[in-house]
Amino acid sequence: MENEQNSDFNHADKHKINDFLSVFSVKEDWGGDGTGRLNLSGRRVAISKEYIPRKYHFFNTNAVPEEEGWRINGMPDYTLPGKRRLLTWHDCGASTSRVVLPPQFEAPPGIFTADLEIFILAGKIQIGEWRLDKHSYSFIPAGLKVEYWKVLGEEEVEILWMENGPVPLQYQYAETNYPDARLSEYIPVLDSKLLPWGKTETVQFEVAKKKFLRKHNNGGGTWLLAILPHYDGHYGMIQQYNEEAYAIAGYCDIGNYQFAKDHLGYCPSNSTFPRHRTVDGGLFFVRVDRDLSKVSTVLSYANGD
């Protein structure tokens, strides 16, 4: 079931698109205009083949079947294949996956036809002159030329791989940047371990800590959230935005569900979230398509336990 508010988005010619930078992102189902370009509205998930409005999903990504022989669309045949667990996706081409690339993996320079975010879960990879290791982050805008890719060492590299659309991501050989590529938004490498912790922007998580990795055009963002030990949110909450969250370490009990390492949560706008509690604390990778510092984006809800 497709989100009705996204029904005006025409996917019929998505495979015939030449000027991929001219395609508009899907409008967010909370009333946004798509300028955040995450395309988180209306996604399906690995445990639900249909999009269900206001229905959140939590699941262990280790239980998702692993696709062998996965290769980035458009990459030459000589590039070694990897493995992928597809976690969430949208018909426009946006998706979130866990990707594993093998040792000796190398890929040539080129551009991608959609924005790409990557967060390293394990291992090391070189992209041009930049080296990314565990908990490093990169944002590669569509049309920006990146140099060769190379897995470092004898271990696989595991990546939280986020293709943001609004067209299917493909590799294209290029010697220069594509005209009008958003070069100023490029984040070649950000070592999150070196970033300072800051405050959160909502009352519900005022005792948690936050590291911004990227702030989106509409005020949403990609960040790390550390929920401190002995946290108790006391109440449930209503979220008026779309969210993806991946558990890196520790856990947080959300109602009766223990959201622990390698679990993913997809929460459409206007979902009612149960009470959050943890004894030991946890670390989470989060993407949100709205500015949470605005009034009424997160509402306490006494019956949300």
pLDDT beneath 70, residues of the chain: 1-18, 203-205, 303-305
With b for 16 or more beta-carbon neighbours within 10 A and e for fewer, the 18-49 pattern comes to eebbebebbbbbbebebebbbbbbbbbbbeee
Same domain for 182 and 37: yes
> What per-residue confidence (pLDDT) applies to 304?
52
Same domain for 98 and 13: yes
pLDDT in tens, 34-45: 999 999 999 999
Which structural domain, as residue segments, surrounds residue 73?
4-193
> What per-residue confidence (pLDDT) applies to 203?
63
> What per-residue confidence (pLDDT) applies to 303?
63
With b for 16 or more beta-carbon neighbours within 10 A and e for fewer, the 54-85 pattern comes to eebbbbebeebeeeeebebeebeeebebbbbb
* CATH number of the CATH domain containing 288: 2.60.120.10
**Close Cβ partners of 13 (under 8 Å, ≥ 6 residues apart):** none
> What per-residue confidence (pLDDT) applies to 8?
35
> What per-residue confidence (pLDDT) applies to 210?
93
pLDDT in tens, 83-118: 999 999 999 999 999 999 999 999 999 999 999 999
Same domain for 135 and 271: no
> What per-residue confidence (pLDDT) applies to 282?
97
Same domain for 168 and 73: yes
> What per-residue confidence (pLDDT) applies to 201?
74
SS3 assignment for 223-244 = EEEEECCCEECCCEEEECCCEE
Same domain for 176 and 60: yes
